[in-house]
Structure 1
């Protein structure tokens, strides 16, 4: 029973990461027609709406937003507002494959943040070794794209934005995990995306105005795909965060630079693999295999824990 559940959870994590991997190409194509912040706001407002039918009732996200406003706001600020504003701004400044590499920092960031914020999620030797190996692979691939080229400063700032988003998102992961099933995962995901989409559109308003609507069909296809990715992958991830330790679950995120880079190389003109990037891919795969070969450890305690900043509720 435990083994079959482990396989099921692993397949769900892989599926979510494969969905996220396709976002780099769709995001680059959508950014040709819409500025980063209006695109991010439109994506998550639509994603939140798409999830409402799966929340048990139409009012579930809005009731959750009213009862647990601080919790939903914190998760939204970490998981949607900051992560995806930096994601789309950074993606506009770097190549698709390069963006996928920097998102690969996520597992290391999550393990380090979980180690500092969660008493029962300490870094084990096997996990640490697999993360170091995987991150070495990510470094190989990132260096193969020559990030410090004549475009230098702009590209470097884009990399820093993507890197900062990985660490801020890791804090959001811990906030979700600390609830340990206390909130309905799909309702939470829908509520935080709706709130995050509205916040992003409000932030964009003085800089970009309202999102443009007279755009080609290809843009709306990419927008719908991006929204479906968010609605599906985040719902899966929030569900898994209540059942698997943060550091162990996020090892699967090494698939994002792996698959995201391959998809970018295949579909974005001018992007192609090099020998260092292929060596990096191999290190990433080995890191995942080592990290997932240890004994499965589910989340141990069902008790409800307080979330920083929400203790008064």
Structure 2
């Protein structure tokens, strides 16, 4: 049992590490193409990357036809709506506020799990631990970017809150209803469908070009983003389907994404350096994760 819990923790941290790397690549890609088109191509390619790693692919395709409605629902929630809202909402907000709202996703995951699942209810200790982690995200975000007020803020806030609700609902649905579906199959098919829908939406909304040849850095960034999504989402779907893994507890690991993001910036970007505010925020997040794990272990001990 301890080995199982350890592997879950290690995989969750690895997935979050992967999710901390795309920000620079996204900025590069968006210099050359529109947001929805770029996201659509990214996730379509991610789904294709997973296909060769699915054993008995022909059989799995035939079996998946029985649950095509479920796969379509996951594709729309976890890819089309989630990233369509993400790319749209972030464009209306200053970086710090956007980072804080994205960092609030574990709180929304806990709320949606409390509403939709019988075995994942919130208590005041869990709420305090999640709010503590969110405080750390806010400290890091405010310390790393200028906060500029604009008239588009209310719209952007609303879109990213909806984004958090959609993403959290998708997590709950995968955890609750995908027990009989291999994670690679669900991740691959849902990203291919979701990415294709995003590309179709981009045509009337953005009128993007499909024939332009871009510089090499665009294709490098697209390749990296596709690889990140392929690995991270497959891992995450697998963890959500594991017996005993709660949506609210698993999503608290996403608080470490800004920590990894900050470290990567310090290592890669010449103008980025460690600062006291970021270090304080990281310590607050670390304490919140320790608290969540302590509460989980205590709850497991009581059941035993």
What is residue 191 of structure 1 aligned with on the other side? 189
- Residue 48 in 1 paired to residue 47 in 2? yes
Any residues of structure 2 matched to 1:120-131 within 5 Å, and which? 120-131=119-130
1:83-98 to structure 2, matched below 5 A, reads: 83-92=82-91
Where does residue 246 of structure 1 map in the other structure? Answer: 247
The Cα shift of 1:129 comes to 2.0
Q: Give me the whole-angstrom Cα distance separating, in 2, the residues matched to 1:106 and 1:297.
A: 24
* Change in CA separation of 1:63 and 1:124 when aligned onto 2, cut-off 3 Å: farther
Matched, 1:181 2:182: no
- Kept after mapping to 2: 8 A contact 1:61/1:190: no
Q: Deviations over 1:99-158 (max 9, x none)?
A: 5443221111100100011111111343222101101112223333566415x2346644
| Match of residue 283 from structure 1 | 284
Alignment of 1:216-231 (within 5 A): 216-231=215-230
Do the aligned partners of residues 22 and 248 (structure 1) sit closer, same or farther apart at CA in structure 2, a change above 3 Å counting? Answer: same
Distance change >3 Å, CA 272–CA 229, structure 1 → 2: same
C-alpha distance in 2, partners of 1:266/1:101? 22
Residue 101 of structure 2 corresponds to 102
Cα deviation, residue 83, structure 1: 1.3
Deviations for 1:189-214, whole angstroms, at most 9, x for unmatched residues?
Answer: 11110100110001001122354540
TM-score, length of structure 2 as denominator length = 0.87
Relative to structure 1, the CA distance from residue 261 to residue 286 in structure 2 (aligned partners, 3 Å threshold; closer, same or farther) is same
The whole-number CA distance in structure 2 between the counterparts of 1:268 and 1:82 is 32
TM superposition shift of 1:268: 5.8
Output one character per residue of 1:146-177: Cα deviation in whole Å (capped at 9) or x when no partner: 66415x23466445433331221000001101
**Contact 1:64 1:187 (C-alpha < 8 Å) held by counterparts:** no
How many equivalent residue pairs?
Answer: 297
Q: Is the 8 A contact 2:12 2:236 kept in 1?
A: yes
3-state SS in 1 of match to 2:295: coil
Q: Is the 8 A contact 1:133 1:283 kept in 2?
A: yes
- Deviation sequence 1:33-84 (CA, Å, 0-9, x none): 1110000000010000001112213336643553212111111111101111
Query: Residues 101 and 160 of structure 2 are in contact (CA less than 8 Å); yes or no, is this contact kept in structure 1?
Result: yes
In structure 1, C-alpha distance between the alignment counterparts of 2:29 and 2:299, rounded to whole Å: 38
Contact 1:44 1:230 in 2 (8 A): yes
Query: Any idea what the Cα deviations from partners look like across 1:281-304, whole Å, max 9, x if unmatched?
Result: 2211111111122345999xxxxx
User: Bigger CA drift: 205-214 or 86-95?
Assistant: 86-95
Confirm or deny: 8 A CA contact 1:28 1:92 kept in the other structure.
Answer: no
Q: Give the corresponding residue for 1:311.
A: none
**CA 1:176 to 1:74, structure 2 compared with 1: closer, same or farther past 3 Å?**
same
Task: Indicate the residue corresponding to 1:307 in structure 2.
Answer: none
| TM-score, length basis structure 1 | 0.85
Distance 1:102 1:297, change over 3 A: same
